[in-house]
Amino acid sequence: MKALVTGSAGQVGRALIAAAPSDATVVGFDRLGLDISDHAAIFRVVEAIRPDVIVNAAAYTAVDQAESEAALAMRVNGGAVGDLAAAARSVGARLVQISTDFVFDGMRSAPYPPDAEPAPLSVYGRSKLAGERAAGHAALIVRTAWVYSATGHNFAKTMLRLLRTRDDLQVVSDQVGTPCFAPGLARAIWQLAAAKAQGVTHFTDSGVASWYDFAVAIQEEALAAGMLQRAAGIVPVRTTDFPTRAARPAYSVLDKENTWAALGYKAPHWRVQLRHMLKELADG
């Protein structure tokens, strides 16, 4: 299998490169190598490589900034995916598009199944939904959420930095979802791609958490691992205490049962994966 991975410098892109099957030839492009907002560049690169699979890990992810850069967000997260889908068809490749829980409005109180009606609250969410639709029915669309890893910028690493430097932190407790360790997501994507899966599927780690729960777990696990020398006070607050330009879904737990069945295993609990990430950081 020959695969093209876009966004290879991001945390999901890096995880995809690291987790690639041993029998796969993987060519990764960061933004400097392939700006997916460049229509001509997409077709030029795809024609040159002629991959069997294209995994699109490139995205506009500045959720709040997207509110004032709607055209750019829609171009990168929506229009560019249509270009990738067309380029994939031109060489007989399959497209894997990575999407997000932000396509939902968070009004449910039970996990969102893949066929739940999307209702994004933000420009970012609308742009990612546009990307899903542009990918087409032949694509595999993997929705995920709260992604973190030992590389890149993410909530877990930010919390570790703040816990080392502050005595008290306030963390939102009324947004509920599930963290997802990027290496586990990457492994699942490769397995689903190899199985030639199509349509919308969901993948995160198992379990449920608020951002406050996640922050408390990060501190507890880091203390146990000797990565923090003392505990800070973590105070739960409401979303309304920290208004942001873009609205976030209050509840965005994704139903993964169909994915577990397709993979033949259930993802580990998010806290187990958090320990793996902290060990990776500690080992350097």
Q: Quote the strand ranges of the chain, DSSP E.
A: 2-6, 25-29, 53-56, 94-100, 140-144, 147-148, 168-172, 176-177, 180-181, 199-202, 209-210, 233-237
The C-alpha atoms of residue 204 and residue 259 are separated, in whole angstroms, by 10
User: Longest Cα pair distance anywhere in the chain, in angstroms?
Assistant: 57
- Closest C-alpha among 112, 101, 12, 93 to residue 58: 12
Instruction: Look up residue 282 and give its two tokens.
Output: 């500690």
Spatial contact of 179 and 274, defined as CB atoms under 8 Å apart: yes
**Distance (Å, whole) CA 22 – CA 34:** 24
- Supply the Cα-derived Rg of the chain in whole angstroms: 19
Q: Which of 112, 124, 148, 251 is catalytic?
A: 124
Dist. CA 258–CA 32, nearest whole Å: 36
265 is catalytic: no
Residues annotated as catalytic are 124
